Amino acid sequence: MKTAICPGSFDPVTMGHLDIIRRAARMFDHVVVAIMVNPEKKPSFTLEERISLLCRAAADIPNIEVVGFDGLLADYARQREAAAIVKGLRAVSDFEYEFQMALTNKKLNPELETMFLATSAENMFLSSSMVKQVAGFGGDISPFVPACVLKTIQDRLCGRA
C-alpha cells in the first residue's frame, strides 16, 4: 500500500488545499493529511480546530486520514512508512521555500520523495493568509473555503467566535 502525506498548517483549510488532497488521494492508496506546526506562523485556529475543519471539509474522500503532529515531518513520514510528501505549488514565489523544505526533508529522510502538484488555475492566488486578510476586513470568503466550514471560519476570522 502506497501512502502519501499532505502536510501543512491548514490555518484554515482552503479550496486550494482540498484540491491538492483530492488529487493526491487519486494517486495514492492512502493519504495522511498532516496538520503540522510551522514555527514561523502564529495560527488563528488551534490544532484541534484545524483537524476538525479538515475532517469536515474532506469527509467525502474515503482514503484519507487527518492527523495533527508536532515534530519533524521527515520523522513522521518515516513513522508512517510514507513514500512521498505531496504539496501544491502555486507560483514561482512558492518555489524557493518549498524547494528548501524538500531538500531538508530528503537530507533527514533519504527514502522520502517530495512531489509537487501544480495548483489548479483558479487557486493560483489563494492562500490561508489571503483568506484571513479578506475575512478580517469583512470581505466575502465563500469562494475560497469549503462551504461546509465557511461559517466556522468566518466567525473566528471576523472576531465573532
Does 41 qualify as catalytic in the annotation?
yes
Closer CB to ligand PNS, 75 or 140, in the complex: 75
Minimum gap (Å) between residue 61 Cβ and ligand PNS: 19
Helix axes 150-157, 128-136, angle to 10 degrees: 60
Closer CB to ligand PNS, 41 or 140, in the complex: 41
CA 28 to chain centre: 16
Residue 6 in the binding site for ligand PNS (CB under 6 A): no
Give 85's Cβ-side CA count (13 Å radius): 29
Out of 41, 129, 142, 151, which one is annotated catalytic? 41
Residue 8 in the binding site for ligand PNS (CB under 6 A): yes
The Cα–Cα gap between 54 and 91 comes to 24
SS3 114: strand
Cα distances from 40 to residues 33, 37, 114, 161, in angstroms, run 20, 9, 21, 24
Residue 73 in the binding site for ligand PNS (CB under 6 A): yes
Of the listed pieces 2-10, 18-26, 134-142, 151-159, which binds ligand PNS according to CB under 6 A? Answer: 2-10
Given 51, 61, 67, 101, the residue binding ligand PNS (CB under 6 A): 101
Contact between residue 137 and residue 131 where contact means Cβ atoms under 8 Å apart: no
Question: x/- string (CB under 6 A) for ligand PNS, residues 38-67?
Answer: x--x--------------------------
